Amino acid sequence: MNNNVDLSVNIAGLKLKNPVIAASGTFGFGREYAEYMDLNKLGGISVKGLTLKPRQGNKPPRIAETPAGILNSVGLQNPGVEAFIKEEIPFLRQYNLGIIANIAGNTIEDYCEMAEILGDADIDAIELNVSCPNVKAGGIAFGTSCAGISEITKRVKAYCKKPLIVKLTPNVTDIKETAKAAEDSGADAVSLINTILGMAIDIHRRKPILANNMGGLSGPAVKPVAVRMVYEVSKTVKIPVIGMGGITTGEDAIEFLLAGAAAVMVGTANFVNPAACLDVIHGMEAYLRQYHIGCVSEIVGKLELNQ
């Protein structure tokens, strides 16, 4: 790495050597990718979404390819938070990277209990997945209303000893409002966007391809929406913004930084190219050198709108 380019970032106390984080649900717990790349090169990893108890996830098929993206309805298959602490953290701590625990649940109590358990674990931050259905509110996702996001953020923050990142869903009328609700309720940072709700149909069977009927759309298809939402949110909140949605190259990542993101997450691209995160890091580095920029944080939010 060129010593003249400083890629390090500090996001609400989460210090990373570069702003590229492997996105939750696309990188497992890092084991699978360690065979193909040096995990030490990553800024961080947001691990597969964790629930309080082990979870099998949804029945297959639960992945469907779409033009420029994929639909997924995996359903948070994971070994549970205790197994993560016991088996996966020691593995990840062999490497020099930030560890972000992504947590999910069906009740606020689930989230609070996980935040409390993870408070004493060797992780660097918690990412709150608020796209889960709240069983006590008739299955409506926590993150689709300002009241829902306020309550869950406030409650979890009381148990959280680590920086708290709230991952925002794009399936709302105005993401600026939910971002502000998260900030006002104690979030240390926000990450966006989570997947966009979509559907694909098998016209011969006349049935949805996914067994769960609908799923989350990710990949290059969502990038313009994600960039716009990151721009809007970064102009609304004072806390750091982590951008994601269709990033496959360093140039893509630079778009998010100019729009106001302090760091980025790379997700679906990992399925196509196991070294996608490294390609993004190298591309960012090349851009900074090209324009003689010494520190990556210098370009955050430096977008100039057309007049």
The residues annotated with a catalytic role in the active site are 132
User: What is the DSSP code (8-state) at residue 70?
Assistant: E
User: Using alpha carbons only, what angle is made at residue 193 by residues 16 and 121, rounded to the nearest 5 degrees?
Assistant: 45
Q: Is 202 helix (H, G, I), strand (E, B) or coil?
A: strand
Whether 32 and 45 have beta carbons less than 8 Å apart is answered as no
Count CA atoms closer than 13 A to 70's CA, side-chain side.
Answer: 16
User: Using alpha carbons only, what angle is made at residue 65 by residues 64 and 68, rounded to the nearest 5 degrees?
Assistant: 145
Q: Is 48 helix (H, G, I), strand (E, B) or coil?
A: coil
Whether 222 and 245 have beta carbons less than 8 Å apart is answered as yes
